[in-house]
Amino acid sequence: MGNPLDYEPGEKDELVIALSDPASKKDMAEHLRNKGARFFNVIHPENSLSPSFISGEGLIIAPYNSISNRVTFGDFVSIYGFCKIGHDIHIGNYCHIASHCSIDGFSKLSDDLDIPSFTKILKNTRL
User: Which of 78, 70, 79 lies closest to 108, judged by CA?
Assistant: 70
pLDDT (tens digit per residue) in 40-70: 999 999 999 999 999 999 999 999 999 999 9
Question: How many Cα atoms occupy the beta-carbon half-sphere of 115 within 13 Å?
Answer: 28
**Spatial distance between the Cα atoms of 22 and 97, rounded to a whole number of angstroms:** 10
pLDDT of residue 1: 66
What residues of the chain score a pLDDT lower than 50?
A: none
Q: Where are the domains of the chain?
A: 4-34, 42-121
- Please give the CATH topology (third level) of the domain spanning 42-121: UDP N-Acetylglucosamine Acyltransferase; domain 1 (2.160.10)
pTM higher than the cut 0.75? yes
